[in-house]
Amino acid sequence: MIFMKTIGIIAEFNPFHTGHEYIMKAAREVYCADQLVVVMSGDHVQRGEPAIIDKYARAKAALCAGADLVLELPMVYATGSAQYFARGAVSALLSCACVDALLFGSECGSIDILKELAFGNTAADKAISDETLSGLSSATGIHDGHFTPNELRLSPNDLLAVEYLKALEYFGSDIIPLTIPRIGTPHNETMASDTYASASALRQMLSTGDADSAGNMISAYMPEYACDILSGYISSRQLLTADAYSDALFTVLLQNRPAGYAGFFDVFDDLSDKIISKLEGFSSFTAFINSLKSKDISYSHLSRALLHILLGIKKSDVDLLSQYYDYCPWLRILGLKKDAGILSLIKRSAKRPLLSKLADSDKLLDSNLLSVLATDISASELYSYHSKKKSGFVSEYRRGIVIL
């Protein structure tokens, strides 16, 4: 039996389901964790779209499932490619300076196979690196002729797991990687089994038809507390998809057209030119992605690029954080167990400013980080505006930590 005092989990929980509960229970029951620290995406996720429900509701579900502390992954990483997502999240766990292990699910369920993919197989490693650099589908790159150990067909979870291992190596971390086999349907599968469904399948159910009916339909695939949280959320807020941002995106694209878009994260010169050439045909966020998509660039890369333009995430922001702040600008608390001792431990040991109140950020962050934080705040307020059933939005400065 391996004993780990504090285990970290990196997640989106978009939305929280029984498979997520399974990995949280494994951290406690299989690896005997005393404390669980979750690094979670905020209101926008890696696919380049708004989360279907907001970060506060998802943080509450994580706490109900056993997390002691939920930290928000800064938006530049939450909406980045696998490499950036992994480095940003791993860096946050490292900056806590008290996390002993990182636990993640994978299709293969083997750290040895994942390490071979990360460090021992040149062809597979190149295919994964090419995805990070160019936005091509890494799964396609590896499946189309590249060797993988045991002829393993890689899933997005395995590819992300490889990036976690690379991130730990990149930072020279002594955090121990642990994995458990993913259960239920595959990551992007839109069909559900009797007990388990992927987050993709649940989002599809929620986005079709009446939200209340859909909420009842997916209850078999979510813990009761997560269903209650979702039901309460649906009663007061809209469930968001990328097309909720269509008008806002078009406005921002028009405003930035004279200068082009190459300064934004994930937008290269050719893509900037293509966006300009296609702009007259714009009808919606997702339709515009499909008009730009080609064999040379994936849907998810385009979605991330357009979201970065909309939210004002620039290449210079990412370069700043990676080069001068070692990928972790701050540790922002989203949720906390009231009786957990983890917060006092992190307060003593943290290598980065701990943000529990945004009002304190002026005292804790330098001017460069305040500028990046302002982009995060604006993005969450845009989300709040579009998710409210009534007009207006709730300022991030008025949103408190979720405490259970």
Instruction: Report the run of H or E that residue 49 belongs to, with start and end.
Output: strand 49-50
Q: What pLDDT, on the 0 to 100 scale, is given for residue 399? A: 94
> pLDDT tens for residues 335-390?
999 988 899 999 999 999 999 999 999 999 999 999 999 999 999 999 999 999 88
Write down the CATH number for the domain with range 6-107+155-240.
3.40.50.620
Of 39, 1, 36, 15, the closest CA to residue 330 belongs to 39
Instruction: Report the run of H or E that residue 386 belongs to, with start and end.
Output: helix 367-387
Of 207, 107, 122, the closest CA to residue 161 belongs to 107
- Domains of the chain: which residue ranges? 6-107+155-240, 243-315
Q: How high does pLDDT run on average in the chain? A: 88
User: Do residues 175 and 113 touch, judged by C-beta distance below 8 A?
Assistant: no
Residue 398 makes CB contacts below 8 A (sequence gap 6+) with none
- pLDDT for 133 beyond 60: no
User: Do residues 338 and 403 touch, judged by C-beta distance below 8 A?
Assistant: yes
Instruction: Report the run of H or E that residue 47 belongs to, with start and end.
Output: none
Round to whole Å and give the CA distance between 301 and 294: 11
Cis peptide before 15 (omega within 30 of 0): yes
- Cα→Cα distances 150→120, 145, 154, 180, 182, Å: 13, 14, 11, 18, 18
> pLDDT tens for residues 266-323?
999 999 999 999 999 999 999 999 999 999 999 999 999 999 999 999 999 999 999 9
Round to whole Å and give the CA distance between 312 and 253: 11
Of 30, 108, 20, the closest CA to residue 66 belongs to 20
Q: Which residue has 């008008």 as its token pair?
A: 247
φ, ψ (nearest 5 deg) of residue 107: -70, -40
User: Global pTM?
Assistant: 0.90
- pLDDT for 117 beyond 80: yes
Kindly state the average pLDDT of the residues 73-86.
97
Residue 267 makes CB contacts below 8 A (sequence gap 6+) with 261, 275, 305, 308, 309
User: Do residues 154 and 143 touch, judged by C-beta distance below 8 A?
Assistant: yes
Round to whole Å and give the CA distance between 352 and 374: 18
User: Do residues 91 and 78 touch, judged by C-beta distance below 8 A?
Assistant: no
In the chain, % of residues over pLDDT 70:
86
Q: Which residue has 């305040």 as its token pair?
A: 370
Q: What pLDDT, on the 0 to 100 scale, is given for residue 220? A: 87
